[in-house]
Each structure stands twice: as C-alpha cells, then as structure tokens.
Amino acid sequence: MDLKNKTQATMFEFSGLTDDKELAPFIFMLILLVYVMTIIGNVGMIALVCVFSSLHTPMYYFLSSLSLVDLLYSSVTTPNMLSHFLSPKKSISFLGCAVQLYFFCALGCTEAILLSTMSYDRYVAICHPLHYTLIMTKKKCFGLVLYSSSISFLQSIVQTTCVFSLPFCGSNLIVHFCCDIPPLISLSCSHTIHCDMVSGVLIAIFGTYTLTTIFLSYIFIFLLIFRMTSTKSRQKAFSTCSSHIICVSTYITAVFFTYLRPYSGSFEIQDKVTSVFYTAVTPMLNPLIYSLRNQEVKRLLVQAIRKSF
C-alpha cells in the first residue's frame, strides 16, 4: 500500500511498565513514593539555598538549579506513568506526545550539562581556591546555567521536529511508559536513518562535551589531591567531590546504556527499568546524596526542621 493512502496516527497508546495485575499495585506505590520524595527533596533543597545566606555560593547555586531541573524532569513523565496504573486506557495525543518528548529531551540534556558545569566549579574551588570568588562570579554562574538550559532546549527542538516529521501510519503502540526517541522512531512507517543520525550526532556531541569536561576537571583535581601532604586536606577534597561523582555516575551510566546502543524489542524490560531509574529515581537521589554527604546542608536542614516545629 502506498504511504500516501495510509492514515497518520493522531493518538498513541503506551504499553506501560507492566501488564501483571498483581504486581501493578506494588509498582504504583513504589513509584508514587519515589515521586513524593523527589518533590520533597528537591523543593527542600531549593528552599534551603534560598533561605540560608551561608548557602549563597556558586556550588549551592548550581545545586539548587539542578534540583529545579530534577523536579521538572521527573514531572514530565512520572505523573503520566502513574496515571497508567489507574486508567485502563494508556493513551496520549499526537501533540501531547510531542510536547512530552520536547521537555524530556531538553531537561535531560540540561541536567547532563549542569553536572559537567558543577565539575568545573569543583575544579576551580579545589585547584584555584584563592581566585574562586573572582572566577565564579554571580554573573558567570547565571550565564553558565542559562547556557546549559538554552542550548539544551534548542537541541531538543531539532530532535523533536525530526521525530515528529516522520509518518506514523502503522501501529500506534509505544512499547514504553513515555514518549522517547527510540520507541517512537521504531513506529515510523518510513526510512528513519536521517533521524537516527541526527539523534546519534547530538547525543555524541553533548555526551562528549559532558564527559570531557567532567574527566578533565577531575584529572586536575586528583593530580592536586595526590600532591597534598596533609591527610585531612585530602579527605576534605575527596568529600567535596564525592557527592558530585556519585550523581554523575548514576545518571550518565543509565543514559548511555539506553541511548548508545541499537534499540531492540528484546531489550524492552531493560529499557523500561533503566528509563525509570534516570527519569524517576535519579532526580530523587541527587538531593539525598548531597544532603546526606554534606555536613553544612545537614546542619541547616536540622535547624530548619527545629524552627518549623
């Protein structure tokens, strides 16, 4: 049949996380708990940074920006994912899917670039402590956050336009719980090599930029740490970097596992588990990791809780 005679899809259906009715309530409650903790943790982190003047530093400015991105990033997919457990019909409109994919790609890229920016901030703080306030000015911090979000939202326009310019005239079942690039491209009834190339090139560019910035920053940091004669100074430097390293490792590992390999239906379960991890679990973990491993944040958090009661 000629492609012109086929009907373009106006709605998409999701396969969801599971079809097991016995397992569904448990997964629903688990994801709901994760989402509530994500909201509390990230809103709490933003509030702490805003309220306490001692946290008005570049490090916490980037951390509060990361918390805002995590909050929005999780909210793009998680509420919709939870609604699938409560409704027999797991559907989304063509336009709704495009909007979800746009913000999903934009915020995901913003998070990656912000994490690389935070590694540069740690490099300046540890390797150039005397010039830290001169280098990391308020204007520069604001510019770095603005750059991270602007370039991410621009590249998302390219990816979203490319995917939704494809004809969807066959099955409208997305084998996923959200609108993501690999499962959407697999539904198209035309050649998708140009979209695969666009997506691959953009992921390679931003992935290379992110990893290069992080690796170079930590190479210089570790070289300096190993030259330190004081054990206390080494421990303090490692403690300063450890939270960021954990956050970077969990997020980038999950993202690269999903996007830097050919999409295949045989990896459906792994894809969903990995996607849940970096869309729902990682945004919850970031504020927890920073708050639990940072004495200043813990002290101010206890202080804020005592005042509220």
Q: What is the pLDDT of residues 222-249, one digit of tens each?
A: 898 888 777 777 777 777 787 788 888 8
Read off the pLDDT of residues 50-60 as tens digits, 9 standing for 90 and up: 988 888 889 88
Question: Does residue 203 surpass a pLDDT of 90?
Answer: no
- Candidates 48, 9, 10, 19; CA nearest to 269 is 19
Query: For the chain, percent helix, then strand, then coil, each to nearest 5?
Result: 80, 5, 20
What pLDDT sits at residue 236? 76
pLDDT of 91 strictly over 60: yes
Within-domain flag for 185: yes
Residue 99 is assigned to a structural domain of this protein? yes
| Helix 58-86 × helix 282-292 angle, to 10° | 140
Would residue 301 count as lying in a domain? yes
The predicted pLDDT at position 5 comes to 46
- For the CA atoms of 187, 193, 195, 199, the dihedral, rounded to the nearest 10 degrees, stands at 110
Count up the domains in the chain and report the number: 1
3 within some domain:
no
Q: Identify the band that residue 43 occupies on the pLDDT scale cut at 50, 70 and 90.
A: very high
Cβ-Cβ contacts under 8 Å for 63 (sequence gap 6 or more): 45, 49, 118, 290
| Buried residues in 120-142 as b, exposed as e (16+ CB within 10 A) | bbbbbbbbeeeebeeebeeeebe
Query: Does the pLDDT at position 115 exceed 60?
Result: yes
Residue 276 has pLDDT above 90, yes or no: no
What mean pLDDT do residues 187-214 have?
A: 87
Question: Does the residue 4 lie in any domain?
Answer: no
| pLDDT at position 74 | 93
Tell me the CATH number at 266: 1.20.1070.10
Query: How high is the mean pLDDT of the chain?
Result: 85
Q: Is residue 3's pLDDT more than 50?
A: no
Tell me the residue range of the domain where 167 lies: 9-308
Give the span between the Cα atoms of 282 and 41, in whole angstroms: 12
Rounded CA gap, 285 and 53, in Å? 24
In a domain, 2, yes or no: no
In a domain, 17, yes or no: yes
Report yes or no on 104 lying in a domain.
Answer: yes
